[in-house]
Amino acid sequence: MTVVVGYVATREGQAALDRGVKEAAARRTRLLVVDSRGGSSDEPVLTQVLEQARADGVEVELRSLTHDADPAEDIITAAEEVDAELIVIGLRRRTPVGKLILGSNAQRILLDAGCPVLAVKAP
C-alpha cells in the first residue's frame, strides 16, 4: 500500500508533505509525492524533506508531472495506479465566498478519490 501526497510549492503543500511523510512512516508503507505543477523536483524544501524521509526508512517516489492536466486528476490517477490507502492534500484558508466552493482541486479529490483523503492546513 502507499500514501499519496499532492504537493505544490506552497505552505499548504509543505504541510501536506510533512504529514504524508509521518503517515507513511507510521503505516510502514511507501510514499508517492505527486508534484503536478512540475518543475519543482529540485526545490530545496522538497528535496530536504524527501531525503530525510528516505533516511528515516520511508521508501519515496516523486512524480513531477509537467503536462497541462488537472492536478486533481493527476493525484486521483496516481492513487488508483498504486492502490493508495490514503491521499494527503493541503487546504488553504478561504474567504466566506471561497468556502462556498471549497476549491475545485480539493473538492474533486475529496469527492472522487477511491480511498480516504486527509486534508491538512498549514500552520
Domain, as residue range, for 71: 23-121
Percentage of the residues of the chain whose pLDDT score is greater than 70: 84
Q: Are 89 and 16 contacting, i.e. CB atoms less than 8 angstroms apart?
A: yes
Q: Rounded to the nearest 10 degrees, what angle do helices 104-112 and 71-81 cross at?
A: 30
Whether residue 1 lies inside any domain: the answer is no
Whether residue 5 lies inside any domain: the answer is no
Expressed in percent and rounded to 5, the helix, strand and coil fractions of the chain are 45, 25, 35
Q: What is the pLDDT of residue 102?
A: 52
Q: What are the grid coordinates assigned to 122, written together?
A: 498549514
Q: What is the pLDDT of residue 65?
A: 77
Whether residue 13 lies inside any domain: the answer is no
Whether residue 79 lies inside any domain: the answer is yes
Q: What is the pLDDT of residue 10?
A: 86
pTM of the model: 0.87
Whether residue 62 lies inside any domain: the answer is yes
What is the rounded CA–CA span in Å between residue 12 and residue 18? 10
On the question of pLDDT at 71 being above 60, the answer is yes
pLDDT single digits (tens) 73-100: 999 999 999 999 999 999 877 655 555 5
Q: Are 23 and 104 contacting, i.e. CB atoms less than 8 angstroms apart?
A: no
Structurally, the chain folds into a number of domains equal to: 1
To which residue does cell 486534508 refer? 119
Whether residue 109 lies inside any domain: the answer is yes
Whether residue 64 lies inside any domain: the answer is yes
Q: Which amino acid is at 28?
A: R
Angle at 8 between CA 3 and CA 12, to 5 degrees: 85
HSE (side-chain half, CA atoms, 13 Å) at 26: 9
Give the CATH number of the domain where residue 100 resides. Answer: 3.40.50.620
